[in-house]
Structure 1
Amino acid sequence: MGKGTDILFITGPTGGHFFPALSLAEEIFEKTSLNGKFIIPEREALIKWLRKKKISFEIIPEAKFSKRNLLIFPFLFGYVCIISFNLIIKEKPKIVVGTGSYFSVPLIIVAKILKRKILLHEQNFIPGKATKILSVFADKIALTFPNRNGLPFKKCVITGMPVLKEHRKIYKREEVIEEFGLQNDRITVLVMGGSQGASFINRLIIKNISYFKKFQIIHIAGRDKEIVEKIYRKEGVKGKIFDFCYKIGKIYCVADVAICRAGAGTITELVANRIPSILIPYPFAGGHQRKNAEFLKNYGGCIVAYQNENTEKNFIFLFERLLEERERMV
């Protein structure tokens, strides 16, 4: 019989839930003798990261509630609970860490029934539904923002957001500029939409592409990469376009300003790297990004724009304002 797993990390399918767990695991494995394992839904991007970091993982089915699966959801949830029960008996974890998402709910509930210690991490200013549901079962809840918002007071600890080592590593600007084929005397604009909702931000840049000819752009365009790349070439815009980039730490070292969504991880990394930004909150998924962005705005750390016609009409004005105010923001 082996000694089992010290920590099970349960993450959701998006980067906003996955990267805080990965960052925390990285720190724990480096600074302690504890071991751990990730339990994830089947997503290629998550698997690639865990293989890159040489971290053990296991894939289990998802039990996501929707109107379409209303009748079968109780059976699906029960099925995932049985899998979770067998998994926890097999792994014998001392602690189970959940970073939000519907995916974590059955496993955390089963872990509590089996008397495991539960730590939750809430990334956003407004706690997600999963955190609210699971707060009853948690021993401790780590918060990124100083806002408990109905969570059990005695369980909450403000910890901030863990950031991956390569996302906070300092690189030499000149070397990265050369690697990406950029110029040292131009303002470098970082454009990215995160794992959800890149299309609106891509559209803002494309509609104003003539204006952006005087800058150089590092553009993480998601599934629109080929379209964006074609337009950049046609219009003669200097830049580097990715669908997804593992070298985000290098990008942060050369970015002078950023146009991004307002996920908690993105905000934390922009602040850590002192990059002034226009934040455009993703308006769906509970709308939590709006509160994240407004929290930073209240401290003078960004300009907030919203996904609407007004932003589309006035985007160049907003960007000019960012350039004027960027020294104050850092």
Structure 2
Amino acid sequence: MKFTNTTNIKDFMIIGFPGLPPEFNGAVSVLLLLVFLAIVVGNTFILTVILFERTLRKPTYFIFCHLAMTDMTFGTATLPKIIARYWWNDTTTSVGACFTQMFLVHSLGTINSLILLIMALDRFVAIWLPFRYPVWVTNKTVFIACVLSCLVSFICMLGIVLHALTLPYCNLNIIVHCYCDHISITQLGCGENVIYVKMVAVANAMVVLLLPLAFIIISYFSIIVAALKMSQVERWNKVLSTCAPQIFITCLYYVPRCFVYLSNLLGFRFGTDARIIITMMYSLVPPAVNPLIYCLKTKDIKKVLTERFQRRKVTVAQRNDLRQNTN
């Protein structure tokens, strides 16, 4: 434990789950490793399928690609260090590495929120303005929108990180979390500016979380209204099947976060371990589950995978028949 000024602090110590008995360290590290592999393998698989299948080179699926890249980068930025902490008891991280991780965590979270907004707008235009959709929503416009989301997020979060760097850190250098985030770091700061720095960060978080969420809710509500006006059951089912993956992904991302924010607003406080577990769940479950949602809830991707699997079975059967005839 160090009670020093920021000029002398060389590193932080990441504790992870403070109430976890040491005998469970191995099990936790294996669980986190499995989550990490699920995120990397699943999202890599989705990227490969969409990028190499010509029939899926459409704006909607390019949005999925950007979301998959964001999810995979988030898992890579957060999980290896906490796995090392429980696998090899490697708790130390440098100040620079910790602030870099904080920058990536919040930047990628903001990018994720904006990509979900782009996804909702894509469906809104497809349902309400189908004749304008091919003109307004193209691979180029989607690419530009996603790049702008990244640039805005990086610039905004860079300001938040630099603001946090202005604080003197003269408290404990122990981070009671599984990765470095703004709350965990700034609560170690001291001086009269700590509250101001925290308020600026919270206001920024509300804007990047609630503003896109408001547009997303309005967008999907209008889509449902449009579907209710349709006379044919098939068109109604088509709208739901088209929007179902996006709604699932949006709920996975926003519902737990809103629950935590509302709980804090209403004065309900979680224990430290419960707070960390909830944070890890809403941070890591969506990146791990999203690829399954793409595959199980998206008609075109299911069709492509089914056709490739069937062709593979036919090819294997033909090879076996040829070997038997040769023998």
Coarse TM-score class (shorter-chain normalised): under 0.3
Relative to its length, the structure with more strand (as a share) is 1
Greater relative contact order (Cα 8 A, min sep 6): structure 1 or 2? 2
Relative to its length, the structure with more helix (as a share) is 2
TM-score normalized by the length of structure 2:
0.21
